[in-house]
Amino acid sequence: MLDTRENGRLTLVVIMAASVLILGTALVAQYGFGLLPCELCFAQRPPYALTFVLAMLACMPAVDAEQRRIVVLLCAAIFAVDAGIAGYHAGVEWKWWQGPTACTGTGGKIDFGNLLDALQKPAMVACDQPAIRVFGISMAGYNFLAASVLTLGTAWAGTRLTWWTK
């Protein structure tokens, strides 16, 4: 069994591993399976990159236990923001509410005078059309679940004061 003080470092390792796993999954889906992300998909990626970097920096020996605890609580807040973005995106996909007009097909008029220019631009990926559903849940839905669990887990870990003593 681990010394309770080691649980703090283990929490940081879990944050890094989860962040890499989730970002890696998104990149494999995009580049390995050709599932093109929309604007809201892209918005869900930076929080994981940020939590990875913060957790990695917090593992450095110069960082004391209380500062590590603060980083874990900050990561919990970042995961909560990501859960909000993912939940919003999943709601857009299920048509529970309107998404951004830039990626839901409800904005902009077509100018047939510049048809050639329009054809040379890359295709817009619709935010309200999931690229894939597995067991009825889209990638945004799974990200909402993952980010919610990470939020609760890291918030709980950050409140275990015995984990963060010297």
Query: What local confidence, expressed as pLDDT, does residue 102 receive?
Result: 67
Query: What local confidence, expressed as pLDDT, does residue 47 receive?
Result: 96
Question: Looking at residues 25-30, what average pLDDT do you find?
Answer: 89
b/e 103-115 (16+ beta carbons within 10 angstroms → b):
bbeeeeeeeeeee
Query: What local confidence, expressed as pLDDT, does residue 103 receive?
Result: 72
Residue 21: pLDDT above 70?
yes
Q: What percent of the chain has pLDDT over 90?
A: 38
The domain spans of the chain are 6-98+123-164
Return phi, psi of residue 43, to 5°.
Answer: -65, -20
Dihedral over Cα of 73, 75, 77, 80: its sign: negative
Q: How many CA atoms lie within 13 A of 38 on its CB side?
A: 26
Count each helix (H run) and each strand (E run) in the chain, helices first. 6, 2
Alpha helices in 94-138 (DSSP H): 115-120
* 117/136 Cα distance (integer angstroms): 37
Query: What local confidence, expressed as pLDDT, does residue 109 receive?
Result: 54
Query: What local confidence, expressed as pLDDT, does residue 73 receive?
Result: 95
Which two three-digit tokens encode residue 143?
């990200």
pLDDT tens-digit readout, 52-95: 999 999 988 888 888 889 999 999 999 999 999 999 988 888 88
Query: What local confidence, expressed as pLDDT, does residue 2 receive?
Result: 55
Map tokens 């004391």 to a residue. 64
30, exposed or middle or buried, with CB in 10 Å at 0-12, 13-18, 19+?
middle
Query: What local confidence, expressed as pLDDT, does residue 70 receive?
Result: 92
Average confidence score pLDDT of the chain: 83
Question: Looking at residues 130-138, what average pLDDT do you find?
Answer: 77
Name the residue with higher pLDDT: 119 or 44. 44
